Amino acid sequence: MISLTSSALDAGLASDAGMHLHARGDGPMIISFPSVPPYTTPSLTANLVMRVLLAVVANLVCLVPLRLLGRNGEFSAVVFIIAVEIKNIQTILNSLLWRDDNTQEWYAGFGICDMASFFSNFLGSLYVTCLLAIMRNLAQQVGLLRANP
């Protein structure tokens, strides 16, 4: 973690735009300065379009395996795919809400930002747990197929 002291700020080691970290009391305080125009660049627009497009395509591609695994009773694989789809929806939502660098006009994120960390931690744990369950099932199936001496 990089911490800037007041002498470093006075010496000009911090940039004029962006985020600055100042020490105040027991913990750090983050101050946001307005970004400078232009707020949207062609690369930022291309990033937005590709991020949303690829997340939608990924969700559509996941529907066929989700249906087939659900019919075969593979619960851990179904929950795994649902977790991936929910993360893709979260990516789409975040990309569309905060699409440019104009921080003055951004949605403040009330409610969404409060729950995002809990939601991400839950989905990460669910993802890893399902992955371990899938690997355990595969190990059991391979163990049954092995010839005993």
Residue range 25-37: mean pLDDT, rounded: 69
Model confidence pTM above 0.75 = no
Give the H/E segment covering residue 128: helix 112-145
Residue 31: its pLDDT value, please?
A: 67
Residue-wise pLDDT tens digits, 76-101: 999 999 999 999 999 999 999 988 88
Strand partners, 23: 28
Residue-wise pLDDT tens digits, 45-63: 999 999 999 999 999 999 9
Reduce the DSSP state of residue 133 to 3 states and report it: helix
Q: Give the Cα separation of 6 and 20 in Å (integer).
A: 11
Residue range 115-122: mean pLDDT, rounded: 92
Strand 19-24, strand 27-32: pairing: antiparallel
